[in-house]
Structure 1
Amino acid sequence: MAVSFLAGEVSDLCLGKPSLRSLPATATVAAAVSALKKSGEVYLTVWGCEHTSPRSGAVHGGTCVCVGKVCMVDVICFLAKEENAARPSDALRSPVSELLPKAHGLVRHLEPHSSLLEAIDYILEGAQNLVIPIQSYTSSNSRKKLQKKPTSFGPTLHNGREFCWLTQEDVVRFLLNGISVFSPIPMLTVESLNIIDTDIMTVHYNAPASSMLASILRSHVEQTSVAVVDEDNRLIGEISPFTLACCDETVAAAIKTLSAGDLMAYIDCGGPPEDLVQLVKARLQEKNLNGMLELVEESSLSSLSSSSSSCSSDEEFGLGRHGGSGRYSPARRSEAIVCYPRSSLMAVMIQALAHRVNSVWVVEEDYSLIGNVTFTGMLKIFRSIAGRRTEGDNSFK
């Protein structure tokens, strides 16, 4: 029964999903920042309309293909790099392709009739998101009008079709809705299922935030977080790409000047405390990072005069619209979501979905950090069940 459940078409998971908003691969980083703020989206897709995909080298017959996605995390990490921190204005004029991770296969195209099992296989191979055409009955005339409609972040139509994301969260949520077909596996503990990943990224509370830049980039690609710990390896909080995605580009300055603990407070819900903002400015002056200081001051002036907000999309993070200025969302905090080795798989699934996180930290009773359980780890379990039952083995060993 598990096999037939996973044989369903991915189009069933796309019902009601909004069409993807996009940027051309030729856009600049500054254009991406502007489009993210104006669109209210966490992510914007990047499309290349060439005979060959610039990332994979695969031939697509001259059609438009999605070559990646960008969010504010990409911008923040890009500006925080040593070579860009001194001259952020120059970095903002770089092509948006500079923001795309170099890893292959993070974004994959999939047809609506493809099976859920195929989608899971792509995710386990490393795909962050699957791009799937939206099946609609829009007339050709209507499509032409939509294609020509000007926007600040590009068209939603490509090759005459609209597309949507299919995320790891979408797949896990769908599996939870039919969890009974996998019984009794969901009631087993994450420890007994051997899905606690101990290859995690940590940073000491008092360590410079700049020392974790590579870890932030890795956690962004792997859709996890960086654990902030004390000297006894007890979990204090986390630096999450999901939180950074709802900040603005000036967080790059905070990464260059603050400790990991202060950075947690800086990006926490509601926007940075004024004392930390002043501390960032003072340390930028000390480091002679005048270009970044100008960026922070310009952002402060802009936020005072603006009443609009971004980061309103719930497509991946469940972030709702909020009042005030800037991109800081009250829906995300630096507080880490935790479970225990004896927690059941089903309990951890529910916990992750309820908090809209892709991974849950596993701790001992004293909060000593053991590892984490990710959506990818969960999907490996369900995929292996389907594989065994296809071969006639109904056991799980």
Structure 2
Amino acid sequence: MNIHEYQAKELLKSFGVPVPPGIAVRSPDEARDAAKSLGGDLFVVKAQIHAGGRGAGHYVGDPACSGVRLVKTAAEARAAAFEMLDRTLVTRQTGSQGRVVRRLYVEAGCAIDRELYLSLLIDRTERCITVVASEAGGMSIEDVAAKTPEKIMKIRISPSLGLADHQSRELATRLGLHGPLIGQFATIVHAAWEAFTTLDASLIEMNPLVVTKDNTLLALDAKMGFDDNGLFRHRAIQELRDPNEEDPREQEAARFGLSYVSLDGTIGCMVNGAGLAMATMDIIHQEGESPANFLDVGGGSSREKVGAAFRVLLSAPGLEGVLVNIFGGIMRCDIIADAVISACRETGLNVPLVIRLAGTNVEEGMAMIRSCGLDLIIATDLGDAARKIVTAVRTRRAA
């Protein structure tokens, strides 16, 4: 689960991370009042969406208007809010469809001397939380990694020992910080570590973490993501969820207890078991196409649950084909076959569908597929299924 910048800053502030004062608003008048309340002669008005690159993004139909605006007066804050609210912002992370901006964050400006990058994330290869830092803050960390990887620094935190004082201080020195800034940086890293471990976070990112002209550190931007499996321990975090920022297909799938993630490909996948689902996506890539989703229907799904999964899958835009790959252990192949047939009839399926079944009640399931009267393509194994769906998609595309 992700949250907005203003929410992340409130959480990090509660753990001791310094952030500029700011106020979340929903209307131009609120933006004006927020600027008046903050005082000063420089403000930043930021679009609040779950995507990075807002400053380099643009609004649909208005390429000159970005998602981050610098203003000097309360009247300018109101005017900026009028131009930014209830419009679609496109960034490199939203895709061409963009996201509708429903909320803004008006923040006090500051005099910036340097911009740094700081994040905490889970390194699954090393099986630990890792602190990532760079002197190249304020820009895409992916671009930094691709063009100047030597500017990225990492420290791995021992799960048993936790974050040691010397680790954050050494990292501060490597970033070129001196004097009091070393202690400030160490305090911020420790505060972020406490927030990460206490709240079951999966990501904390401050980009940029700035050194101001008066030699203090501030988290000028903040992003936080959380492990969904730990949310039952954090009701207050659950309440920060913004349904408007989530894929409606993922929300619908969650209602039925399905594991569904939207992707950018064209071949929909319905599989039981996360490992088999990953293998199915991999083999589609190997055959030269891309999956449209990750969908694990689980091991003990009912006919209704499978039918819901199929409807969610078919609702993806740009879908050109479907691959159903089921290995029946607890899951019965005849239940899958019945649900797929019913869903195809209900939705009027108009793209190729390849189905591969194996395991419990496979004979009954295959008999139902063969006799249903629908134009479904049967595969014998995973490799055969991938080849058949890719061939069918490309044949239809060429036609």
- Indicate whether the TM-score tops 0.5: no
Sort the TM-score into its range (normalised by shorter chain): under 0.3
Relative to its length, the structure with more strand (as a share) is 2
Give the number of the structure with larger relative contact order, counting CA–CA contacts within 8 Å between residues 6 or more apart: 1
Structure having the higher Rg:
2
> Normalized against structure 2, the TM-score is what?
0.23
> Normalized against structure 1, the TM-score is what?
0.23
